[in-house]
Amino acid sequence: MSNAISEKFTVSPIHLFFIMYVSIVDISILSFQREVAMDAGQDAWVSILLVWLSSHILVWMMFKILSNQNPVNADFVSINYAYFGKFLGACMNQAIILYFVLTAFVMYRIYLEAILVLIFPTMSLWPISLVFIVLIYYAVSGGFQTVAGLCFWAFFIIVILFPPLLVLLIPFLHPQNLLPFFDHSPMQILKSSHQMALNFYGAEVLLGIYPYIQTQAKSQKWAHIAIGSAALMFLVAMVVALLYFGQDQLHHLVWPTLKAIGMLELPLFQRLEYLVLSVWLLKTLASVGVGLWISCHSLKKLWRTKPSNNLVVILLLFIILQLFIKDPEQIITAKMLHTNIGVYFAYIYIPIVFIITMVRKKFSKG
For the chain, the domain total comes to 1
Confidence (pLDDT) at 362:
87
Residue 165 to residues 111, 245, 268, 306, Cα–Cα distance (Å): 20, 16, 15, 44
Q: Which domain holds residue 113?
A: 7-365
- 182, part of any domain: yes
- 15, part of any domain: yes
- 65, part of any domain: yes
- 107, part of any domain: yes
pLDDT tens for 152-163 read 999 998 888 888
- CATH assignment at residue 33: 1.20.1740.10
Contacts with 266 (C-beta within 8 Å, 6 or more apart), sequence order: 168, 272
- 1, part of any domain: no
Confidence (pLDDT) at 7:
81
Confidence (pLDDT) at 167:
84
Q: Kindly report the number of other CB atoms within 10 A of residue 76's CB atom.
A: 28
Confidence (pLDDT) at 117:
87
pLDDT tens for 73-108 read 899 999 999 999 999 999 999 999 999 999 999 999
- 34, part of any domain: yes
What b-and-e string marks burial along 296-322, b requiring 16 or more CB atoms within 10 Å of the CB?
bbbbbbbeeeebeebbeebbeebeebb
User: What is the residue-level pLDDT of the chain in tens, covering all 366 positions?
Assistant: 446 787 888 999 999 999 999 999 988 898 899 999 999 999 999 999 999 999 999 999 999 999 999 988 899 999 999 999 999 999 999 999 999 999 999 999 999 999 998 888 888 889 999 999 999 999 999 999 999 999 999 999 888 888 888 888 989 999 999 988 998 999 999 999 999 999 999 999 999 999 999 999 899 999 999 999 999 999 999 999 999 998 888 888 989 998 888 888 777 677 788 888 888 999 999 999 999 999 999 999 999 999 999 999 999 999 999 999 988 899 999 999 999 999 999 999 999 999 999 999 888 765
- 17, part of any domain: yes
Confidence (pLDDT) at 163:
83
pTM over 0.85: yes
Confidence (pLDDT) at 3:
63
